[in-house]
Amino acid sequence: MEKYKIYQLTTEDLEFIYRACHQLIEKHDSVETDIFARDCAVYAMELSRNLREAVLDFKNTTHSYAAFLIHGLPFDIENIQTPSTWDCNWHHSETFTYEVIHSLISCLFGEIFGWSTQENGRFMRYVVPIQGDAYEQLGSSSSVELDWHTEEAFHPTPADYVSLMCYRNSEQAATSLCHVDEIVRQLDEKILDILFSRSFCIAPDTSHHVKENKSNHWDIDIKKYCMSAEAKYADTPISVLYGNREWPFMRADLPYMAVFDGNEDAAMALEQFKLVVNQSLIDVCLTEGQIMLIDNRRAVHGRRQFSAKYDNYGRWLKRINIIRDLRALASEFNQLCDRRIV
């Protein structure tokens, strides 16, 4: 059985994508504005019916696909170098056309948003290997495996989908995936009962810390960190599984999750959970131009260790956070910002 849904773009799909992309480029010079995110959601409604139907079925039906993989987009960045840092200019990107296409397709799944404690709320995040981060639990690492997780597992309202677009991957670094259904079917009822209980805690990962957000393009506003993710959520009791017992959601982050208050039964259940996930991961090696939407409520993802190139032509992805209903984040929006930022 397929572990992720594959969609091949047709000539008709591409015609609709290019038309909408051209219209957005005429109005905007950056994806990093609230009005772009709003316009992008509107223009996404004009993409081909076949693509919209496929996405709708993925979003609204019961299935065990960890991700929706789109391929068939003509792609050429031969004369554009991989950045050496995530801290790139917000405006007039060399790859702006592809950023708009990525955003358009992502908006079929929901609304674009950002985190104020992560690159100052940037919508379009760059994922590139950085030598100084090679052994860290960050997307910019390479010499160690990026452990499996759901994005912002510590937060009560994480992204519904994580949208990845591959710009380069000559190193063939694999993205690892595991759907919650694959996990649940291997655990007994006693373990599941514990995993559904608020017996665990998950700390924010280091990408939300001030030191990982230093930028040459803007000044970090320390006020945004006065009630940082670490301070607000690190010691909040949560469940690993939640929602409908027959169709559960999941939050997990291998390096940052622990049992709450020394609960021994929870510790045993968590070890079983980790064991099953480790044994059930599958690998997907993205290629240039592919876009993969990972179901962040129903699947964990990570990245295998790889030998990074630091020659300006190494691995390069871009990432967008997507929420199905922006109202779910309304009470969380950072009041110090004028954008859709939590």
Q: Report residue 10 CA to chain centroid gap.
A: 26
Confidence band, pLDDT 50/70/90 cuts, at residue 231:
low
DSSP class of 83:
P
Closest Cα partner for 200 from 118, 145, 274, 116? 274
Answer yes or no: is 318 within a domain. Answer: yes
pLDDT at 132 over 80: no
Report the CATH number that the domain containing residue 46 is assigned in CATH.
3.60.130.10
Q: What is the DSSP-derived secondary structure letter of residue 290? A: -
Amino acid at 318: K
Q: Is residue 146 part of a domain?
A: yes
Q: What is the CA radius of gyration of the chain?
A: 19
Whether the CB-CB separation of 41 and 111 falls below 8 Å is answered with: yes
pLDDT tens string 292-338:
999 999 999 999 987 888 898 999 999 999 999 988 887 666 554 55
Half-sphere exposure of 326 (CA within 13 A, CB side): 14
Binding positions are: 149, 151
- Average pLDDT of span 11-38: 97
Average pLDDT value for residue range 226-249 = 79
Segments of 169-272 assigned E as strands: 175-179, 200-202, 241-242, 249-250, 257-259
Q: Give SS3 for 219.
A: coil
**pLDDT at position 227:** 46
Q: What is the pLDDT of residue 226?
A: 47
Residue range 43-55, pLDDT digits in tens: 999 999 999 999 9
Task: Count the Cβ atoms, other than its own, within 10 Å of residue 211.
Answer: 7
Helices (H), the chain: 11-27, 34-44, 49-60, 96-106, 180-184, 189-195, 229-233, 264-280
Burial of 142 (0-12, 13-18, 19+ CB in 10 A): buried
> What value does the mean pLDDT of the chain take?
89
Nearest to 180 by CA among 283, 277, 284: 277
Q: Say which residue, 94 or 224, is predicted with more confidence.
A: 94
Domain assignment present for residue 184? The answer is: yes
Is 90 exceeded by the pLDDT of residue 274?
yes
* pLDDT for residue 59: 96
Q: CA 30 to CA 285: how far, in whole Å?
A: 29
Confidence of residue 208 (pLDDT cuts 50, 70, 90): low
Binding region for Fe cation? 149, 151
pLDDT category, 339, cuts 50, 70, 90?
A: low
Give the residue-averaged pLDDT of 134-162: 85
* Structural domains of the chain, count: 1
pLDDT band at 160 (very low <50, low <70, confident <90, very high): very high
Binned at pLDDT 50, 70 and 90, residue 206 comes out as: low
**pLDDT, position 220:** 58
Instruction: Provide the pLDDT for residue 283.
Output: 97
Domain span at 199? 5-332
- Give the 3-state secondary structure of residue 283: strand
Q: pLDDT-based confidence at 219, cuts 50/70/90?
A: low
Specify the pLDDT at position 307: 80
